[in-house]
Structure 1
Amino acid sequence: MAYTVSSVNRPLLYAVLVPALLMTGCTAEPFTPTSPASPVSASATPTPTGDAYAAWQAGRSTPVADPIYPERGTDALDVLHYDLALDWSPSTRVLTGTATLQVRPTKDAASFSLDFKPYDIDSLTVDGAPATGKVAKEKLTVATPVTADSPFTLVVAYHGRPTTTPMPSKRSDSAPLGLTVGKDGGLWTMQEPYGAFTWYPANDQPSDEALYDIAVTVPKGWSGIASGTPMGQDGDTFRYQSTDPVASYLTTLAVGKYKKAAGKGPHGLPLTYWYRPGDKGALPVLKQSPKYLAWLEKKFGPYPFPSGGVVMVDSESGMETQQMITLGSAVFSYGADQFELDVVHEYAHQWFGDAVTPADWRDLWLNEAWAQYAQLVYQKETAHATDAALDAWLRQSDSALRKEFGPPGHPRPSEFAMSNVYICGAAMLRQLQSVIGDKKFFALARDWAQDHRNTQQTRASFTAFVNEQTGQDFTAFIDAWLDSPTTPPKSLKDRRR
């Protein structure tokens, strides 16, 4: 996720960092801001016979209960695959959907629940048999017994007018989460830390990643955009498929009167940019995506997915939705240079957050610290800034943010994704680089992203990886940066061995 310039804390994504970095002294300047028809099946291929669930094993996860937002998601279910067939009517503002889920229970239970807004349920089956389900308090509860490790198929047909859910944050760019209906009848969504349940039944927590097939049917002249690899268009139905597992918060959906531009990234990677007439000014920056991705590949290894791109929406923020970044048009209003930084940040997330996802929201810093630091390194290199200026700026910013929001390893539930998880985590990575040297640091970064691709990770696993990779014990170092209410001492920088 990215901030906008109007955020309360003016994070680095849109701050005037370059003047501070160009200083020759050891202290940074003060932190200064810039100012329906029944939907068709979404599946590209039919469910195989025999062991039908073997086809979805790449979507197998080990769900854990999230301690920050325990009311979202469950560790009792592991969704292997979502097949979403959606039909949007702009004139009536009604979404009609059929969601087919392949689910592996992790526990025996007399019933099961998924996160879901109160749409009208048209039909519900479990393994083809009619079942009883009830939607209340943003949960769909199905009164069917399930057995651990005995997968089942749930099919939910539903319709209704989308509504959002509140964002647990004090950020000034925060908005209600989930599927949002625009004034023109279009749709878009941003949903971190949750909100996918506003358009399909979901185990809406980061530890349960799944495969996806999404089909979006829209009126003639409209476009349907979703996360995943574009699989073509059948009439007015747009299809997308994710063969790499996706956390629910990293899915996206947008419907509108879009125009499409295509590009090719490194190694012929297909890229797609979706924009409206008012977004034309952003297009030159979006078309620089091959350059950004090539730079990121040099630092962190091959891009982890079979396609990429950006869809512009009516938001004030940006989101690293998998294979199809969702960017708010308001972000571009602050200038092409700052918009470029946001694009680089969200592309960096494809490695850090998307390919390697935190198991729960305590470790949001694992996403944001890496993406923030990648953006800072890009910014430093393109501005030809000094290491000393960056170090001074980070330490000054870190100190103020810890005082206001606490350490990055202990995020507050009511203050999701504040600047501390971005900048304080980036400061830790910067100091780690100073300790082990550039070559070892970027080798570590590359191996972290590549060796843990399509997995869910934690602070403990990251610490163990750093210790193994470096041959040194950085446990106390990492704990200090993630847990201390004040900035760790600069002397740690000189702990060379």
Structure 2
Amino acid sequence: MRRAPLLSAITAAAVLLAGCGTSVTTEARRLGVPRPLPSVAVGGGNTDGTSTPVADPIYPAYGNPAIDVQHYGLTLAWAPDTKTLTGTATIKLRAVRAVQQVRLDFSSAYRIGKTSVDGVDVAGRIVSGDLTVDRPLAAGAVATLSVEYQGTPAPVPMPSHRGDSEPLGLTVTRDGELWTMQEPYGASTWYPANDQPSDKALYDIAVTVPAGWAGVASGTPKGRSGDTFSYTTAQPVASYLTTLAVGRYTKTEVTGPRGLPITLWTRTGKDDAFIPELRRSPEYLGWLEERFGSHPFPSTGAVIVPSESAMETQQMLTIGGDVLGSRPQLANLGPVLVHEYAHQWFGNAVGPSTWKDLWLNEGWATYVEQLHNASHGGPAVERWEQTARQQDAELRRRLGPPGSPRADSFAEGNVYLCSALMLRQLHKALGDERFFALGRAWAGSHVGTAQDRAAFIAFVNQQTGRDFTGLIDNWLDSPTTPAR
């Protein structure tokens, strides 16, 4: 997700500390040209959408750890005149343990039509944000649930005090277009979902839109048939990392490192100021690949929506057209793109099993963004660290340490800045080559999985041959800023 507004202020303060026109330091220059990294075998399991769902301790009302969704097939149609979304969700799922009913998160804004399990009609209902289907399943049983539905999307409140907080989920604009930002639990505003980060699944999405409009979704583009746009995934996706945008769009295609297809969607006649920076995506991705290995997915891109935030939605970033304020032509979209593209490795390829470990996503993306800034003429990393430490204590006092985020303060500055400073300490202890190798191995060897703090610490210790348990725990748990 987009860096919290506080972090933009920290970056600006670091620039002032560095001074106008300050030359890039020796460290920053070195970060710009890393030495070759050892190869890492890509793996980690979950190539078929099989996951190990975990009950989320921060938002326990969302997600069902008794159900593992393996595949979502979503066939959608949008009618802007009536603001009606019509959908059929075909969901392959596995019972982790015996259940008397199948329960998934789903918005009460929709009316349920025909519902079946393995082709047999069953009773289904939506109550208090849950779709419940009366069909018992034995432990380990695999079934296919099909649900027809129709209604007007309605977002839900975001549990945060961020300056760019907006309602979560599928949003209808005044002129009848659609867009969504849905971290941590807004996916269930447009399809029945096991809306928790630990249950990753494969997706096929087809959306039919009015003539002259475009339908944009996460995943690899499968092409267009008439007014229907289709997308698929070969790597599992957490529900919060899916996206959907429907409106009047212009498509631009560029080629990234190793021939990586990049599709850029801008709102026709509205986003010309963003196009030059968006077209620099191959440059940003190339810089990331030099440090962390090949892009984890077969395609990527970005779609601009009328939001004040930005989101690392898998294979298709969702970038708010208001993310830089009212005059984007005077601002720099580059750091936002670097941050969100970095999440494709850190957060998407491997993400947290519960929202307690959101720092695993945001700490990496924040620190990588600062490294990119330093290697491209921005303030040296030492300057950033100096300024960031001055903010760390206040964040811990106000929000708590990053390892224990508060339910009413989702994705606020502590999980970004404080955990980025932890990674800075690892970087200084390991040096460039071993630190980048660590990041490359963490993402590369856990593709398609959800992990937690214990797994990260064990991996760091095994990979480095050193015990960093105390350092990591201290930075994640201390109520005050740890010593250097």
**What TM-score do the two structures reach when normalised by structure 2?**
0.92
Indicate yes or no: 2:223 matched with 1:232.
yes
User: Residues of 2 paired with 1:283 and 1:16: CA distance?
Assistant: 28
Secondary structure of the structure 2 residue equivalent to 1:330:
coil
Fraction of identical pairs, as percent: 54
Go from structure 1 to structure 2 and tell me whether the alpha carbon gap of 1:188 and 1:348 turns closer, same or farther (over 3 Å shift).
Answer: same
Work out whether residues 346 and 361 of structure 2, in 8 Å CA contact, stay in contact via their aligned partners in 1.
yes
Secondary structure of the structure 1 residue equivalent to 2:440:
helix
Q: How does 1:53-132 map to 2 (within 5 A)?
A: 58-118=48-108, 119-132=110-123
Secondary structure of the structure 2 residue equivalent to 1:396:
helix
Q: Which of residues 263, 279, 289 is equivalent to 2:281? A: 289
Segments of structure 2 that go 5 or more residues without pairing to the other structure are: 23-45
The corresponding residue for 1:391 is 385
The corresponding residue for 2:17 is 20
The corresponding residue for 2:305 is 313
The corresponding residue for 2:26 is none
User: Residues of 2 paired with 1:475 and 1:12: CA distance?
Assistant: 31
The corresponding residue for 1:140 is 131
Post-superposition shift, 1:345? 0.3
| AA at the equivalent of 1:462 | F
| AA at the equivalent of 1:20 | L
The corresponding residue for 1:326 is 318
Segments of structure 1 that go 5 or more residues without pairing to the other structure are: 25-55, 491-497
Indicate yes or no: 2:352 matched with 1:358.
yes
Q: Which of residues 459, 468, 482 is equivalent to 1:465? A: 459
Work out whether residues 22 and 389 of structure 1, in 8 Å CA contact, stay in contact via their aligned partners in 2.
no
RMSD: 1.5
Moved more, 104-113 or 63-72: 104-113
User: Residues of 1 paired with 2:266 and 2:61: CA distance?
Assistant: 35
The corresponding residue for 1:38 is none
The corresponding residue for 2:39 is none
Q: Deviations over 1:125-152 (max 9, x none)?
A: 0010000111011000111111111100
User: Residues of 2 paired with 1:192 and 1:141: CA distance?
Assistant: 23
Work out whether residues 18 and 383 of structure 1, in 8 Å CA contact, stay in contact via their aligned partners in 2.
no
The corresponding residue for 1:494 is none
Q: Which of residues 414, 421, 428 is equivalent to 1:434? A: 428
Post-superposition shift, 1:335? 4.1
Post-superposition shift, 1:22? 4.6
Secondary structure of the structure 1 residue equivalent to 2:336:
helix
Go from structure 1 to structure 2 and tell me whether the alpha carbon gap of 1:147 and 1:14 turns closer, same or farther (over 3 Å shift).
Answer: farther
User: Residues of 1 paired with 2:19 and 2:382: CA distance?
Assistant: 9
User: Residues of 1 paired with 2:167 and 2:324: CA distance?
Assistant: 21
Post-superposition shift, 1:324? 0.3
Go from structure 1 to structure 2 and tell me whether the alpha carbon gap of 1:413 and 1:369 turns closer, same or farther (over 3 Å shift).
Answer: same
Work out whether residues 14 and 338 of structure 1, in 8 Å CA contact, stay in contact via their aligned partners in 2.
no
Work out whether residues 13 and 338 of structure 1, in 8 Å CA contact, stay in contact via their aligned partners in 2.
no
**What TM-score do the two structures reach when normalised by structure 1?**
0.89
User: Residues of 2 paired with 1:346 and 1:184: CA distance?
Assistant: 28
| AA at the equivalent of 1:414 | D
Indicate yes or no: 2:241 matched with 1:250.
yes
Post-superposition shift, 1:433? 0.8
Post-superposition shift, 1:390? 2.4
Q: Which of residues 141, 145, 169 is equivalent to 1:150? A: 141
User: Residues of 2 paired with 1:63 and 1:412: CA distance?
Assistant: 21
Work out whether residues 370 and 381 of structure 2, in 8 Å CA contact, stay in contact via their aligned partners in 1.
no
Indicate yes or no: 2:195 matched with 1:204.
yes
Indicate yes or no: 2:476 matched with 1:482.
yes
The corresponding residue for 2:27 is none
Work out whether residues 2 and 13 of structure 1, in 8 Å CA contact, stay in contact via their aligned partners in 2.
no
Go from structure 1 to structure 2 and tell me whether the alpha carbon gap of 1:267 and 1:109 turns closer, same or farther (over 3 Å shift).
Answer: same
| AA at the equivalent of 1:272 | T
Work out whether residues 53 and 66 of structure 2, in 8 Å CA contact, stay in contact via their aligned partners in 1.
yes
Q: Aligned residue pairs: how many?
A: 456
Go from structure 1 to structure 2 and tell me whether the alpha carbon gap of 1:434 and 1:65 turns closer, same or farther (over 3 Å shift).
Answer: same
Indicate yes or no: 2:2 matched with 1:2.
yes
| AA at the equivalent of 2:162 | R
Go from structure 1 to structure 2 and tell me whether the alpha carbon gap of 1:232 and 1:270 turns closer, same or farther (over 3 Å shift).
Answer: same
Q: Deviations over 1:377-407 (max 9, x none)?
A: 0011112533431221221121221122111
Post-superposition shift, 1:339? 1.6
Post-superposition shift, 1:11? 4.2
Work out whether residues 204 and 233 of structure 2, in 8 Å CA contact, stay in contact via their aligned partners in 1.
yes
| AA at the equivalent of 1:314 | P
Moved more, 11-20 or 319-328: 11-20
Secondary structure of the structure 2 residue equivalent to 1:244:
coil
| AA at the equivalent of 1:487 | T
Post-superposition shift, 1:446? 0.9
Go from structure 1 to structure 2 and tell me whether the alpha carbon gap of 1:10 and 1:391 turns closer, same or farther (over 3 Å shift).
Answer: closer
Secondary structure of the structure 2 residue equivalent to 1:243:
coil
